[in-house]
Amino acid sequence: MPMTRKEFLKLTGKGAAAAGLGFFAFLNEPRGFAADVLESDTLKRIHQHIDDNLDRHLAKIQEFLRQPSVSSWNLGVQDCAEMLVGYFKQLGCQETNLVPTAGYPGVWAWYDAGAKKTISRYFMYDTQPYDEKEWSSPPLAANVVPFPPFKSALIARGAINSKGPLVAFLNALESTIAVTGTLPVNLMFTCDGEEEQGSPHFHEVLHPYHDRLKTCSAHLNPGPSQNRDGQVSMYLGNKGILYIELEASGQRWGRGPQRMPIHSSRKAIMDSPVWRLVDALKTLYDQQSNRILVDGYYDKIAPPSDEEKMLVATLIEKFKDRAFGSERENARVWLQDWSDEEAIRRLVHDTTLNIDGIWGGYTGPGVATILPEKAACKIDSRLVPDQVIQEQEKLIRAHLDRHGYSDIEMRTLGGGDEWSRTSVTAPAVQSVLSVYKKYNIEPAIWPRSAGSSPQAQYTRAPLNLPACSGGLGHGGRAHAVDEYFVIEGNDQVAGLADCEKSMVDILFAYAHWPS
């Protein structure tokens, strides 16, 4: 017998945590308000339809991945947007169209099922760049290959981040409509073609639809969320991101080479913009102490909330050993030799200042003797509550000016992803948790991911929607070589079919959850 909402909230509240039950107490209980629907014949028939049509579903994912959409390179993004509009039409959306922006177009679509609840769904359809010669299978070929320890996986740029899961969700909807004639919820889709650029124009996609999106009750994004071992981490929010370029140039500085590199022997009498950049960077961050030295950079950071504290305590208590899974391969020690416990806290709570790239002068093979006329770097900073992108940016500018580096040019790239957070008590979150329970998965719940997304545009003013994502399935190597999406899994990890089935489950669970 399902708990009442009141009973549930009692279990997930402070009292339960104090009693050592934590937020996961409910997992030992029936699946909340969604138990009946998750066992229904309707769902079983939809699952069967997915199994029967899996080859076609996979082919559609491959079709979408073979259309490049590398926003950094201006490669195929517009064509990919138009392909996505076509998919929404096939699905039977009452509305779908490109949404022009100052950059690449976004995409809007609306599926009106005449249902009580409306869900907001986000897609990104652009990808990171790639260096094809490093891949074992070409990044645009979207080949399905044996992929131990899984039976098979699809290799492609965008396979997991996020064009593969995007089409998997459309496949799940298609099967639902095929079996039931409609969907259990109405859906409003808003899609970004510049996510990998930091979503600089996504607000232009959302803005015309603000009044429509306000009718949604949640921003719910089902998708493959298992790690290599089949375990799940759930993120109830994300950090914001500030992305800038800093450039030292002789011209702006009025010192050193003014217009072009000069013979390096001239270093005896001329200043170097490269050394200038090194000097300026050194004032921003101290590597030894891991301290951001920008004046006031930490001032706006709020202390962790009680809910965050409890979630982090539970993470450390129950999930410490799997918190960093495959990451361990690429990291021997954490910053400052932190323990895993401390690293979990820092990953959740810390702001950062990272150099994504640095360049200047001759960077090819062998020797060239030049004094470069400029040098530059890309810097990103992850922001936590209550840091605000524009304010942090101003702090960096003011710091450089105050330390005598007003000649260092600062260019904003991307920008727009503020931090986001949703409470674990939100029905959208509880619905997803109920589906994990159905499959005997106990997720590690993180108050926020260390990364960024445009989610704040849904979860903060003016829309204020609770947001959640989750589901079965697995992929990896996002942003890296041989990005993959598991098609046939193993005992721990779901393949494509179960991934799509869990997406259907989540929609039905949420549709039936009391609100």
Residue numbers 452-491 binding a second copy by CB under 8 A: 452, 478-481
- Nearest approach in angstroms of CB 15 to a second copy is 31
Alpha carbons 26 and 10: distance in angstroms, whole number: 10
Span interacting with a second copy, options 37-45, 146-154, 190-198, 434-442, rule CB under 8 A: 190-198
Question: Which residue in the set 18, 59, 302, 355 belongs to the binding site for a second copy (CB under 8 A)?
Answer: 355
Distances 103 to 210, 316, 398, 449, 471 between C-alpha atoms, Å: 20, 42, 29, 27, 32
Q: Which residue has the tokens 């329970």?
A: 437
Name which of 42 and 264 has its Cβ closer to a second copy.
264
Question: Which residue in the set 19, 48, 149, 362 belongs to the binding site for a second copy (CB under 8 A)?
Answer: 362
Label each residue of 139-184 as H, E or C.
CCCCEEEEECCEEEEEECCCCCCCHHHHHHHHHHHHHHHHHHCCCC
How many Cα neighbours within 13 Å face the side chain of 475? 30
> Among residues 236, 245, 366, which one has the least CA distance to residue 310?
236
Handedness of CA 126, 235, 435, 37 (dihedral sign): negative
Question: Which residue in the set 63, 356, 386, 401 belongs to the binding site for a second copy (CB under 8 A)?
Answer: 356
Handedness of CA 37, 40, 44, 45 (dihedral sign): negative
Distances 491 to 209, 473, 476, 504 between C-alpha atoms, Å: 43, 12, 18, 21
Asked if 135 touches a second copy (CB under 8 A), the answer is no
- Nearest approach in angstroms of CB 287 to a second copy is 4
Residues in 280-299 at the binding interface with a second copy, rule: CB under 8 A: 281-282, 285-288, 290
- Nearest approach in angstroms of CB 365 to a second copy is 6
Residues in 324-353 at the binding interface with a second copy, rule: CB under 8 A: 327, 329-335, 338, 343, 346-347, 350-353
Residues in 387-446 at the binding interface with a second copy, rule: CB under 8 A: 413-414
Name which of 106 and 184 has its Cβ closer to a second copy.
106
> Among residues 386, 64, 60, which one has the least CA distance to residue 239?
386
- Nearest approach in angstroms of CB 400 to a second copy is 14
Alpha carbons 156 and 65: distance in angstroms, whole number: 7
Name which of 54 and 70 has its Cβ closer to a second copy.
70
The backbone torsions φ and ψ at residue 378, rounded to the nearest 5 degrees and listed phi first, read -105, 135
Question: Which residue in the set 303, 365, 440, 491 belongs to the binding site for a second copy (CB under 8 A)?
Answer: 365
Span interacting with a second copy, options 29-37, 309-317, 323-331, 493-501, rule CB under 8 A: 323-331
Question: Which residue in the set 1, 102, 367, 461 belongs to the binding site for a second copy (CB under 8 A)?
Answer: 367
Alpha carbons 159 and 465: distance in angstroms, whole number: 28
How many chain residues interact with a second copy (CB under 8 A)?
93
- Nearest approach in angstroms of CB 197 to a second copy is 5
Q: What is the dihedral of CA 487, 489, 492, 493, to 10 degrees?
A: -10
Asked if 127 touches a second copy (CB under 8 A), the answer is no
Asked if 450 touches a second copy (CB under 8 A), the answer is yes
Residues in 240-259 at the binding interface with a second copy, rule: CB under 8 A: 241, 243, 254-259
- Nearest approach in angstroms of CB 250 to a second copy is 8
Name which of 260 and 398 has its Cβ closer to a second copy.
260
Each residue 36-75 as x (binds a second copy by CB under 8 A) or -, in order, gives: -----------------------------------xxx--
Alpha carbons 375 and 377: distance in angstroms, whole number: 7
Alpha carbons 107 and 100: distance in angstroms, whole number: 9
Asked if 275 touches a second copy (CB under 8 A), the answer is yes
- Nearest approach in angstroms of CB 317 to a second copy is 19
- Nearest approach in angstroms of CB 137 to a second copy is 18
The backbone torsions φ and ψ at residue 150, rounded to the nearest 5 degrees and listed phi first, read -100, 160
- The one-letter code for the residue type at 285 is Y
Question: Which residue in the set 55, 363, 461, 491 belongs to the binding site for a second copy (CB under 8 A)?
Answer: 363
Determine contact, residues 76/158, Cβ cutoff 8 Å: no
Count of beta carbons in the 10 Å neighbourhood of residue 173: 22
Beta bridge mates, 488: 152
Each residue 375-394 as x (binds a second copy by CB under 8 A) or -, in order, gives: x-xx-x-x------------
Determine contact, residues 166/499, Cβ cutoff 8 Å: no
Asked if 1 touches a second copy (CB under 8 A), the answer is no
> Among residues 224, 218, 234, which one has the least CA distance to residue 447?
234
- Nearest approach in angstroms of CB 496 to a second copy is 24
Asked if 301 touches a second copy (CB under 8 A), the answer is no
Name which of 163 and 276 has its Cβ closer to a second copy.
276
